[in-house]
Chains A and B, each alone.
Chain A
């Protein structure tokens, strides 16, 4: 026993002589032990074995290249020991430097004069200058020292401890550093040296990701010497900080200094893209691509820019701005490309990611659609930064050594491809690999007896790596699929495909691939990390039960070899499938054209997952769909009960997704079919009911919708969506009371729900109106009026975004329609009604129709109607010629002493309103008769509801809703009407913290309207409006962001106030104060 004990200790601690053996070292996997062996070998105690030592070193190096045991002390190296050429370089280098520094040494005889004063602490000397030197550590009382413990006062110690924690150390504030360096007394050479050192500091800070700090240093450097490099670097720092304007102007400066600076061009293009200056960005990019045709980053941005450009040119202003928003977020990670190419891909994902589209339809209740969108994006961001170099860098060395039988010619191409890859030219490398593949294929054809499949797989694998780097996820997946066909389970290919899927946000597939890679080789860390990462995404998306979404697929992992015939079954299935959870619909899912896809797929694909995606333009979405379908089909073979359940779920999901897609496309009838089937499969899934209810709503079948909602509420009494939809349906049926009940319930469950609030207002309004109006007006917008046709529904989504945007996008639409003249009438009108009818809740009321007429017909009717009215208006507009030019409200500034201009300005608001008015089916509005008085309620039919209601706003909600509902954003008249309902002193309360720059400007404009009247009360109110707005929360913040034209408006208003001093009951100093608070 003693011996055993001894043995045990000797095993762990000592190195015995039999360990000093090649075989033992080869088999040893304990790095600590190996290091010990190495030490023992080096000590020479048991003899000197140089070859064994180097063998052991190699082994240690293989396991841990940074092992401390490998550190060897190098002897002194002298210049004369070096090869002559190196020695020459060094000696000459020093000689040159010496001469250079000598020539510069003479010119520094200037005296630095303005030194800061001597530190004032002299007076403290002797008394306070002693900083106490407390003993470094408070003595710990030993457990046996009872006397000391007797003296120990626990309370006091606690107090002390608290005091200490309160003295939280100040973290360094870089903001205190000035942006400029005092250069007085510096010679030119000195300035240059200082500038370089500041730039170095900037680079260092940049490297450690302190972009703000880097910015400061670059600015300091530039203040000393305007070199292109510093400005260029600063531009990059600005880009990282997303300060696009500054970035652009910096790039401009660089290009002035160095017109051929490609980096600056590229950076400017990036900034311009963000600034939505697509055309300029495109010019820059084509310049870059001219010089460097293989610049992948440039071509990537170009692609994006072109996409945006085409979107924009399609007249879809709101859409383009909305993408702009998203790209802002995306750009955070895409910037990293320059230093960290792999993350490139994340940017692409985010661009495709249009997360709110379906969500907004399926879940109208969540008014936070855009919030959701950004949330998803930000998650991606996390991935972007979360798996930085480490994972990808680790992947790089995966380029494999060629197997011996590869033909020489191919080998050559392959090696040069590898070199390119290693040097980062992934695009070129991919091309070379393609070439190699072709050559090899030719060889294989010539001599069929040689099995080149292994080599081909290798090449595909390498090309996949290139594609992955470049961000061409589809190509990467296709290549990986080839590899998997040829080689079966190849971990590298699996992991690469997983990355590609991950980039495409197909987390399920990515997860499965990571897992399969893991099953092949557990030790692959990338796979583990990846699986974890993706799993967390899935959890975010699908909630805690995310695994159930996968389970079906997982079987594929194990069975994937046999699935060749499962495609068939998949095809027969789709209609019988069922799904769950409509809310989790992934943004990119578009399974509608699935069947086609699958037929194509049949031909060559033996591997488990979709690869034919290239074939169809909508590859990503479809491949996803096919993927999921295939997956869901294969497990049908399984007979176990549990698996069946999983399959059911899978089918259900697919069906539900199909339904969602149909909804998206506007085929509500088809969607209803899908949902009905899904209900058959999983009768307990609430989602099918709520979703079908939505379809019914859209199809104007409120009774069925109510049935579905009731069904859903039966299963989940707290289902907000169901309640909300039932409320809508009830409203359409004029059962306002029930609708109100439901809405109140919703608000009880979710007091913040904006759409519910809006809806509530509408319903209340309707209840009031019902008595005194002949035809019933049906609210639209977020209420999803059933008569909305599919494109109306689409527009609605965009509409929502417009609300978020400021005036610009609306203006664009409006102006466009105004300018289009008669030729485009139809177009104009077709845009108009959508915008208006879908506009924010309560704003417009469009005829409600309960007849089961087809929505399209209705729309047509409406359009016709509008065409007529627009024609009238069009003429009207043409008469009042100048109006069309007055797109920009800033161009005209009303002044009290210039009534002509004032009236012109009034007109300025009119065109839009006139164009709007036709939508109003109304007797009570006379769109074109009173152009001179935009402020009269009758003339601004757009905001019907607010007009009728003159009661003061009670809650900030009401006010906020009304305010946000106003379209277009510069219809000051409408805004004024809203504001008229607010007592001056209540403004800050009602505005709450929603103050925006736009609001400030609008308030200023309204104040000027008041001033025009010239009456004392009006003038006082004008002053009141402006002064009380300045008391609102966040006012200072908003005021800070006023643009120049905005400021002009505000200052004009204050100027007017000043001019009206004698009539008003305020003093000149009041006005001056106002000027100060508005930061003018």
Chain B
């Protein structure tokens, strides 16, 4: 019905869309298609495959080599959304500047960011990491112990974050959190932030670092930040982990306290 010439006229549009959003297509291929195929073929979950690789390719007790092994696996073999080397450097720098004594991490996934934070902690600091999923938590535990961090430095809590945060003060005797790293489900950023505020675990100068606020994005979180006025916030712009073309950002919040 429609003539072939008009159909041909749409070809430039298709080419444009294909080229402009090529990174998204590549990401889709790596994160979804390859993962589904490997799941069917090997029968292990993605995190277990990652753990096997890290086990064979890194030195136990050396956090740097574990992180490098993770980076190699994520960029060459498959895709897991850890924080990645570039954004990890921003995290390291913030930790060095802040030197927090009590750090909370929401969403450990494989333990990459846990190892990264624990590596940069000063002496006597303690990291509490919360992971909801049982399988991931098992892997995280193994990775943390492989890296050589003992129970004094890192404590893994296996429960959803909105159940743990109200109990932090009572069960774990925490008065104030100096640094919070959020990397769990994006739609939980805002409720968890409000829970932290409500429980009074944030003091003046506490730093909260929220990852992936631009892609996949946490719009309600950002909207809340702009409106509430309790934080001095800025967004560190970088690219998505293990991908060069997709823009992403980490939001750094410094709690100012209620006026």
Decide if A and B are genuine partners.
Answer: no
Where the two chains meet, the residues of A that have a C-beta atom closer than 8 Å to any C-beta of B are none
